Chain A
Amino acid sequence: VAESPSPPSRSDEDAWCAELVRRVGAGDARALEQLYDRYARPAYSLARRVTGDPAFAEEVVQEVFLAVWRQPERFQPSRGGFASWLLAAVHHKSVDAVRREEAVRRRALALQAVGGLDASDPPTDRTEDVVEERLRGERVRQALRKLPDSQREALTLAYYGGYTQREIASLTRTPLGTVKTRMHRAMHQLRTALDDLADLADLTVTDRAEGGTR
């Protein structure tokens, strides 16, 4: 395992982030820079996917990191990890940006997003973070494929397309209540599928470890 200045392991990541956010609160620009180095890439990738526009994506990422700088207390470590929180902020801002754009463009993007889920992108960087994020992405794609089509559609139109529940209802000619239920079930099933896949990954790692000592 290569040594790196980033968090020593996933399990320590939350503590690492909480400490950096605390330092940001004390006015330490270095801490902001370290958070940026670690999370700018997934943040920018997400913003770019949702907005479909590099300039919008840059704006969103800068706004979100500036918000961390200005109001670090808005992140509460007791309420979950920093990555979840930061990427949720990036996602919400991206969706807001998209909603300001005209509907036609969004429709095209959403369809692209749904269609593009199976596409695996050629590796552009070999750093550990990127490889790990790629594996993580593959796991989510697997989990998404296990969802019923109607649930996957509701979820991806919302998350990647930036559509509201009402818009999805009219887009897919489905009653609003059904869309809400599908979305809720999709998130629930996704969690279950991800937990199963994580368990499987743990087993595989254990197998390998045992195999290595024989």
Chain B
Amino acid sequence: VSAPTLPAGHDEYEALAVAWAIAALEPADRDRFGEHRAGCGRCADAVADALDVAVELAYCVPDSEPPAELKGRLLAAAALDRPAKPGGALPPADRVAALSARAGDRTVATVVLRGGTADVVTDVLAPNAGRGTSYVLWGVPAGGAGAPTALGSFEVTGGLHSYPVRLVRAPGGYPVLAISEEDAGSLPATPNPVIARGALSR
């Protein structure tokens, strides 16, 4: 391996660094500079310098408030993507269902099916400890034909976490999942009012 050498005319790279910082490079230059920069401290510093100026340009645009739902969507996506507690990567989800009170409303909880397990990711459902209740996950048959079936229960302790469901039946066969709050330890034949429901992805 030969010693790293600055290419003839390293100034050219520093010019590229400035243009990179304001995203003005042609795709080919962008790739070329990207490769070079990865191994060049001088260019990494030149980029950081230019970004300090570029960030000021970012601060002089008209101010717009992001929609409130965006935060919930981000946090749900983050929770789905990786467990909220350290402990290694999980395999990707097999199927998911985003549950909301009504179609189009914000997501209350996301149910993630992975292998033979089900987890409910939420920071919206209220903690149920001390209320003498458990949350129950329901499977709703296709076309509203037939009553929902209790699939298992879970507890919410608060904060954005992935809460495991103690499954008694496999949830995979139902097109729609729903959640209700029931007396602790019971899996009734029919649910209390459903808090949220949503279709299961294929």
Contact = CB atoms under 8 A, between A and B. Distances in A.
Contact of A29 (B54, B62, B84): B84
Contact of A32 (B22, B51, B75): B75
Interface residues of A, number: 73
A70 B92 CA distance: 14
Given A79-B48, A124-B63, A180-B15, 19 more contacts: A27-B85, A29-B160, A43-B66, A44-B65, A44-B70, A45-B62, A65-B78, A81-B52, A81-B55, A95-B23, A121-B62, A137-B60, A140-B56, A140-B57, A143-B56, A155-B22, A159-B57, A165-B25, A194-B56
Nearest to B44: A79
Contacts of B24: 158-159, 163-165, 168, 183
A165 B22 CA distance: 10
Interface string B53-76: 111111111111111001101110
B93 interface: no
Interface of B: 15, 18-19, 21-26, 44-45, 47-48, 50-67, 70-71, 73-75, 77-79, 81-87, 159-160
B22 A187 contact: yes
Given A32-B78, A44-B65, A159 B83 contact: no
B75 A27 contact: no
B92 to A, nearest CB: 13
A160 B84 CA distance: 36
A27 B84 contact: yes
Contacts of A65: 74, 78
Given A33-B71, A41-B66, A166-B26, A70 B82 contact: yes
Interface stretch (A1-9, A100-108, A128-136, A201-209): A128-136
9 contacts: A49-B61, A87-B55, A88-B55, A91-B23, A130-B63, A163-B24, A183-B18, A184-B19, A187-B21
